[in-house]
Every structure is written in structure tokens, then in C-alpha cells.
Amino acid sequence: MSHEHDHPHPPGHPAPAPMLPDDTGSQALAEALRSSFAIVKVAMLLMVVAFFSSGFFTVGPSEKAVILRFGNPVGGGQKALLGAGLHWSFPYPIDEVVKIPITEIQKVTSTAGWFATTPEQELSGEELPAGPSLNPAVDGYAVTADRNIIHVRATLNYHIDEPIKYIFDFSSASNSIQDALDNALLCTAAKFKVDDILTRDRAGFQDAVLQRVSELVDQRQLGIAIDNCQVQSIAPRQLKEVFAQVTIARQNQSKQINDANTYKDKTLLAATGQASAITNEAAAVSANYVKYVIADAGAFNDLLPKYVSNPNLFVQQRLVEAMSQALTNVQDEIFFSSRADGKPRELRLMLNREPPAPKTATANP
Amino acid sequence: MKRNTLIVLIGTVLVIITALLLFVFQVRKSEVAVVTTFGRAGQAITNAGPYFKWPKPIQNVYKYDQRIQNFDDKFSECLTADSTMLLTSVYVGWQISDASVFLSTFPGDSSVSLPNAQGKLEGILRTAKSAVIGKHPLSDFVNADAQDLKFSAIEKEIEQEVQVQLSTNNYGIRLQFLGFKKIGLPESVTQTVFDRMKSERQVLISRAENEGKKDAQIIQSTADSEAVRTIANAQAIATGIRAQGEAEAAKTLSTFQQNPELAVFLLRINAWQQSLNQRSTLIFDERYPPFDLFRNLPANTPGRQP
């Protein structure tokens, strides 16, 4: 353009009159061009600024972002994940931002083994009346080892350990995890008996589910770490009552056994008490008896010389002594003299003492 | 001159950008790309990065999602080896293993070819599933004995069957994993299962009741018999103690044997005295001592008259 500008003033070419309008025209053109160039320059500058500032992007609180540089993720492992906030990357052909809707704690719920229900019904706690059978299209359930039907569901909480695997190896890793959870519930239920799942071994069932999910997750390299797993299992609604009755019957059973054990304790304690009473009494009586006999023997030894010296006197003495002792205790003493004619007197006694056995005695003079 | 340089610079940048757009394409980490030259597919590009290609009419680029895709088949009925109708649904994780083969098998854009491939997969899956399930009785699916439970083995068998089909047909896709998502019984069967479960529960109820009674009775009767035994033992011990006492007492027998007459007399008098401790009536004749005293009195002495 400057070439053109110089052109109108060549040496030796005096500009004639028609040159003037031409010159002003080209001058105006030059002016226009110059100003448009300025605009273009500003526009270019703006474009460059826009180009680089287009590299800014924000990540929301419930999402993460990964920058792909020529298709490859920038950074490895957890570092590849950009958290909430403002970030910058090179604009498109160089870098590309992939946003993933994930939070710190991820959760999947398996309801493949649960009957049809809605969150509102869950909250209000009311259940639709269950029909006599389960429609496989609507109501999910699991079949137990003893071929019973139960409802099971589980919630699995996990966090992402290897985001690159989680994002770039699976089109939907959370779907794969849910599949694994569904499968674990189904497979574990197939191993357990209905009573173990519902009452006897709830914890064992939950552990087995968790173990199976962990195995599947590891096998498939989903790049997650499981935080916990809650399993809920109930008997079919159709059989709720009869299952409750079993529980009550079992409680009654243990109550009966407890009562029997109480009886046993009571009886055995009483028997032990009685037994020691018997032996103690025997020991006491026996000891007394022995003491008494020994005392008697001692007395006998003392009396023997006296008896030997005069047996008759001794006997008389003892008899009279005993008699007088007996007579001092007597309340009523009645004496009868012999009849004047010397005939024997007949005496009749009416005895009425306890026991009231009638008894007569005749005294012969 | 300054302006000239700028023009050249801008021109160059424009040319470079155009050239980049025409000659370079990017493959993301999650993608696999196939470049076709005049319609003929070349090697699949699985590593992410920028790659060179000739512009459109000469070479074309097809990109596919290389990641594992999820897919569940329909909840469908199959007959087990013991003729039980079983409803099953399996989930699979599948993936494009060879993009250039995939492209030739399922031509077109990935929005068309992926559903096509999935449809094929579903067909293969259905055949494999019913074939494998037909080989196993129901006890292989549900069993309390871990040895007999072939749940995982059945899954493996189906997976292998599908894998074989996929590779022999050369679809360019492969299975990464497979498992049961749902297992069920036909609706009419659930009702009979409920009836059976109900009767099983009733058996359990009556068993609990009767077992409770039986156990309680056993405990009580054991306690009773033990109590009786304890007391009998105590009595035996008591008898032993008494016998010991008597044996000890018998040692004094020699003392009494020095004069049996006296011993008997003492015993009799003792017994007599003891019998008088109760309320008793004694009737004596006047001839017996000490009443014989009255007999020998002078005759005019007045006696007591009734």
C-alpha cells in the first residue's frame, strides 16, 4: 500500500490537474485503509485475547473436570481431577475439558430385588396392598438357597480411587457398579437360607454381599474403593404375618426353656438344702446317741460296785426313787382301801384322753 | 514493511490452521479411531494423541467409544435342565476390540453402528443363555452348599459361549464381563412358592412350640430326678453316719456285759421313767412297794373312802 502511496509523486512527472482528484481519492482510500487496518489490528488483538481467555472454565461443586491435551489426560491418578473453582487450559485444538458429574462420595442403590415402590411411599411408610403373586416385570425379588422368595436391596457407598480408569475405561462406571451390586445380592441370596438372611445371620449375609461386590469391582478394575454397603432384606409382604408368627413362636420357645431353667435351679437348690439337712440331722442324732451311750456306760461303771455289794437293796432303792419321782409329778392321786369283807373291789375307769381310745383296767387286790 | 510482515504472519497462521484442520486429527483417551483410505480401513488407532491424515476425499476418520459399554438383556424365560421355567436377565460389559473390523462389520456412524452391534450381541446372548441354562438344574442356581452352587460357573459358561460366537463371527467386539442381573420365576409359580413357604413357616411354628415344650420338659424332669438323687444320696450318707455312730456305741457293749442283770434293770427303769414323761395313768396295787406300807399299818387306821 505504501507503494501506491508513493506513486503519485514520481520525479519528473508533474501532476496535471486531473491528478488532483485522483490524488485526493487515493488519499481517502489510504485513509480508509489505514483506519480499517487499525480496526483489524484491534480485532486481531481482541481475538488473541479471546482465544486465550476462552481457556478459562469453571467447575461446579458437584462435578470434576479432566483436561485432555491432544486427547491424553493431563496429570495422573487423583491429580488429573480438577475440583470446583476457576481453571485454565489451552483452547480447543490443544486442550479439551471433560466434565464429570461426581462428588466425593458416590452412591449406587440396587433395587432389582425389591418390590415396586415409590420414594413417596417409602417416606410415608405405607405399602400398596400386595397381590397374591409377584409380577416379574414390576416386582423384583431374589431366590434363596432353600428356594424361598425374599426382597433384598442394597446401597453401596464408594469413592473414586483411580479417576482415569473410572472415566476413560467405562462409558458408565456407576452402571457397572450397580450391575455388580445387583449380581452380588442375587448370587449371595442363592447361597443363603431364608432364615439366615432374615434373622439368624443378617451380618453374615451383608458381609458376603460386600465381599462379592468387592471381588467383582476388583476383577473389573473399576478404579473405586468401597466405603460401605448396607443391605436390607424382608420377607415377601404376602407372608409378613406368618413370618412374624414364627418369630413369636421362637420367642415363646426360648421363654419356655428359660422358665424350665428357672424351675431347675429352684428344684436343685431346694434338693441340695434338703440333702444337707438330712445329713446334718443324722450326724447330730448319731453324735448325740454316741455321747448318750458313752455316758450310760460311764454311769454303769459307777453303779456296778454298789450293785454288786447288795443287789437287792440297790434295786429297791432305785425303784423307790423312780416311783417317788413319778408320784411327785402326779396331779390326781386317788387311793382305795380294801373292802371290809375282804372281797376284791371292782374298779372301773373311764379314760378319755387323747387319743380318745376307750380303755378299762381292772385292779385285782 | 511492518504491515507486510503482519500480513505474511496472519497468512501463515491461517494456512497452518487450515492445514491442521485438514491433515491432523485427535484421538481422545476414551476413543479409538480408524482411518479409511478411499474407503479401505487401515489399522485402528487406540493410543490417544494427534495423528496425521490426508484430507477428506482421500482419507476419512471414524471414531468410536473404546470404553466398556453396559447392556442388559430382556428379562426372559429359559428352561432349566430339570424343566423349571426360570426368568433371567444378564448384564454385560462389552467393548470394541478391533475398530477396523468393527467398521467393516457395522458400517456407518457410531450412532448407527453401536445399536446395530448391541442388537447382534443381544441375539448371541439370548442363544448362549438358553443353551447354558438348559444344561443346568435349578439346584445349580440356588444352593446352600457352596460346593454345589454353580452360580459363577454358569455365568462363566455363558460368557465363554458368547465370546466364542463373537470371535468366530469376527465382529470386532469382545465381552469384558457378564453376570446375572435378575433371576425370577414365572408369576404363577410365585404363588405356589408362597404357598409352600407358608406351609414351611407353619412347620417351623409348630416345631418351635413343640421343641420348646419338649426341651422344657427335659430340663424339668432332669432337674426332678437329680433332686431325688441328691436326696437319696443324702439319706444314704445319713444312714452311713448313723451306722458309724452305732458301731461306736457298740464298743461300750463290753462295759454292760460285766453285769447284764444290772444293765437290763437300768434299761427297764429308764424306759419306765421315760414313758412317764407323757401324760399317763398309773394304777398300783397296795401290795407293791412303796404302797405296801399301807398294808402293814394297824387295822383301825382310817383309809380314804371314795
User: Is residue A324 over pLDDT 90?
Assistant: no
B226 with A144: Cβ contact below 8 A: no
User: Which span out of B72-81, B168-177, B217-226 was modeled with the highest average pLDDT?
Assistant: B217-226
Residue that terminates a domain, selected from A216, A235, A254: A235
Chain B contact probe: residue of A246, A272, A314, A339 with most B CBs at under 10 A: A246
What b-and-e string marks burial along A202-223, b requiring 16 or more CB atoms within 10 Å of the CB?
A: eeebbebbbebbeebbeebebb
Same domain as A112, residue A208: yes
pLDDT at A365: 38
pLDDT at B20: 81
Please tell me the distance from the alpha carbon of residue B124 to that of residue B165, in angstroms, as a whole number.
Answer: 7
Same domain as A140, residue A230: yes
Q: Is any Cβ of chain A less than 8 angstroms from the Cβ of B223?
A: yes
Neighbours of A239 (CB within 10 A): 22
pLDDT at B287: 66
Same domain as A112, residue A95: no
How much is the average pLDDT of A276-301?
89
User: Is residue A2 over pLDDT 50?
Assistant: no
Residues of A in contact with B213 (CB under 8 A): 256
Q: Please provide residue A226's backbone torsions phi and psi, each rounded to the nearest 5 degrees.
A: -85, 130
Computed over every residue of chain B, the mean pLDDT equals 85
Q: Is any Cβ of chain B less than 8 angstroms from the Cβ of A90?
A: no
Q: How confident is the model at residue A55 (pLDDT cuts 50, 70, 90)?
A: confident
Select the residue of B149, B190, B255 nearest A190 (Cβ to Cβ). Answer: B149
User: Is residue B154 over pLDDT 60?
Assistant: yes
Angle between helices A240-309 and B260-275 (to 10 degrees): 130
Q: How confident is the model at residue B301 (pLDDT cuts 50, 70, 90)?
A: very low
pLDDT at A249: 92
**Fold of the domain spanning B69-185:** Tetrahydropterin Synthase; Chain A (3.30.479)
Select the residue of B144, B194, B226 nearest A236 (Cβ to Cβ). Answer: B194
User: Is residue B225 over pLDDT 60?
Assistant: yes
User: Is residue A205 over pLDDT 90?
Assistant: yes
How much is the average pLDDT of A95-108?
82
Select the residue of A259, A320, A364 nearest B216 (Cβ to Cβ). Answer: A259
B26 with A93: Cβ contact below 8 A: yes
pLDDT at B187: 87
Residues 6+ apart with CB under 8 A from A311: B261, B262
Contact present, B65 and B30 (Cβ < 8 Å) = yes
pLDDT at A259: 93
Q: How confident is the model at residue A311 (pLDDT cuts 50, 70, 90)?
A: confident
Select the residue of B65, B142, B184 nearest A147 (Cβ to Cβ). Answer: B142
Chain B: give the shortest CA distance to residue A120, in Å.
Answer: 25
Same domain as A205, residue A113: yes
The complex scores an ipTM of: 0.74
pLDDT at B222: 94
Q: Is any Cβ of chain A less than 8 angstroms from the Cβ of B252?
A: yes
Q: Bridge-partner residues for A68, per DSSP? A: A73, A96
pLDDT at B202: 93
A12 torsion bin: left (phi>0), alpha (psi -120 to 50), beta (else): left
How much is the average pLDDT of A295-307?
87
Please tell me the distance from the alpha carbon of residue B4 to that of residue B24, in angstroms, as a whole number.
Answer: 29
To the nearest 5 percent, what fractions of chain B are helix, strand and coil?
A: 55, 20, 25
Chain A: give the shortest CA distance to residue B109, in Å.
Answer: 18
Within a domain: A21: no
Q: Is any Cβ of chain A less than 8 angstroms from the Cβ of B290?
A: yes
pLDDT at B122: 92
**Searching chain A, which residue's CA lies closest to the CA of residue B175?**
A220
CATH at residue A196:
3.30.479.30
DSSP-derived secondary structure letter, B278: S
- Cell (9 digits) for A232: 436390607
Within a domain: A344: no
In the three-class reduction of DSSP (H, G, I as helix; E, B as strand; rest coil), residue B176 is classed as: strand
Chain B contact probe: residue of A108, A285, A290 with most B CBs at under 10 A: A290
Half-sphere exposure in the Cβ direction for B203 (13 Å, CA): 6
B190 with A133: Cβ contact below 8 A: yes
Q: Please provide residue B95's backbone torsions phi and psi, each rounded to the nearest 5 degrees.
A: -160, 150
More confidently predicted of B73 and A128? B73
Same domain as A272, residue A228: no
Please tell me the distance from the alpha carbon of residue B217 to that of residue B49, in angstroms, as a whole number.
Answer: 82
A270 with B185: Cβ contact below 8 A: no
Same domain as A297, residue A315: yes
User: Is residue B164 over pLDDT 80?
Assistant: yes
Number of domains observed in the structure of chain A:
3
% of chain A at pLDDT higher than 70: 86
Residues of A in contact with B7 (CB under 8 A): none
Q: Bridge-partner residues for A143, per DSSP? A: A149
How much is the average pLDDT of A250-255?
92
pLDDT at A8: 46
Q: Please provide residue B93's backbone torsions phi and psi, each rounded to the nearest 5 degrees.
A: -115, 115
B277-287 pLDDT tens trace: 666 677 776 66
Quick one: which of B43, B38, B28 has its CA closest to B102?
B43
Q: Please provide residue A20's backbone torsions phi and psi, each rounded to the nearest 5 degrees.
A: -60, -50
Question: Lowest-confidence range among A5-14, A59-68, A292-301, B159-168?
Answer: A5-14
How much is the average pLDDT of B57-74?
88
Structural domain range at position A157: 106-118+134-235
Residues of B in contact with A147 (CB under 8 A): 138, 142, 193
More confidently predicted of A17 and B99? B99
How much is the average pLDDT of A261-269?
94
User: Which residues in chain A belong to E strands, given as ranges?
Assistant: 56-59, 64-69, 72-73, 85-88, 95-100, 106-110, 142-143, 149-160, 224-234
Same domain as A249, residue A231: no
Within a domain: A209: yes
- Cell (9 digits) for B48: 490417544
B residues 132-151 closer than 8 Å to A (CB): 138, 141-144, 146, 149, 151
Q: Is any Cβ of chain A less than 8 angstroms from the Cβ of B67?
A: yes
Neighbours of A229 (CB within 10 A): 23
pLDDT at A356: 45
A165-185 pLDDT tens trace: 888 889 888 899 999 999 999
Length of chain B: 306
Within a domain: A311: yes
pLDDT at A12: 46
Q: How confident is the model at residue A254 (pLDDT cuts 50, 70, 90)?
A: very high
Q: Is any Cβ of chain A less than 8 angstroms from the Cβ of B269?
A: yes
Q: Is any Cβ of chain A less than 8 angstroms from the Cβ of B268?
A: no
Same domain as A231, residue A154: yes
pLDDT at A354: 58
Please tell me the distance from the alpha carbon of residue A186 to that of residue A144, in angstroms, as a whole number.
Answer: 9
In the three-class reduction of DSSP (H, G, I as helix; E, B as strand; rest coil), residue A170 is classed as: strand
Within a domain: A297: yes
Same domain as A275, residue A247: yes
pLDDT at A17: 47
pLDDT at B14: 85
Quick one: which of B250, B226, B15 has its CA closest to A269?
B226
User: Which span out of A77-81, A280-284, B58-62 was modeled with the highest average pLDDT?
Assistant: A280-284
Select the residue of B204, B208, B245 nearest A289 (Cβ to Cβ). Answer: B245
Residues of B in contact with A186 (CB under 8 A): 180-183
A239 with B256: Cβ contact below 8 A: no
Q: Are strands B76-79 and B49-52 parallel, antiparallel or unpaired?
A: unpaired
Within a domain: A6: no
- Cell (9 digits) for B130: 438358553
pLDDT at A20: 52
pLDDT at B298: 56
Chain A: give the shortest CA distance to residue B212, in Å.
Answer: 4
pLDDT at B297: 58
Q: Is any Cβ of chain A less than 8 angstroms from the Cβ of B283?
A: yes
Q: How confident is the model at residue A10 (pLDDT cuts 50, 70, 90)?
A: very low
User: Is residue B231 over pLDDT 90?
Assistant: yes
How much is the average pLDDT of A87-108?
82
**Searching chain A, which residue's CA lies closest to the CA of residue B177?**
A220
Within a domain: A8: no
DSSP-derived secondary structure letter, A198: I
DSSP-derived secondary structure for A254-313: HHHHHHHHHHHHHHHHHHHHHHHHHHHHHHHHHHHHHHHHHHHHHHHHHHHHHHHH-HHH
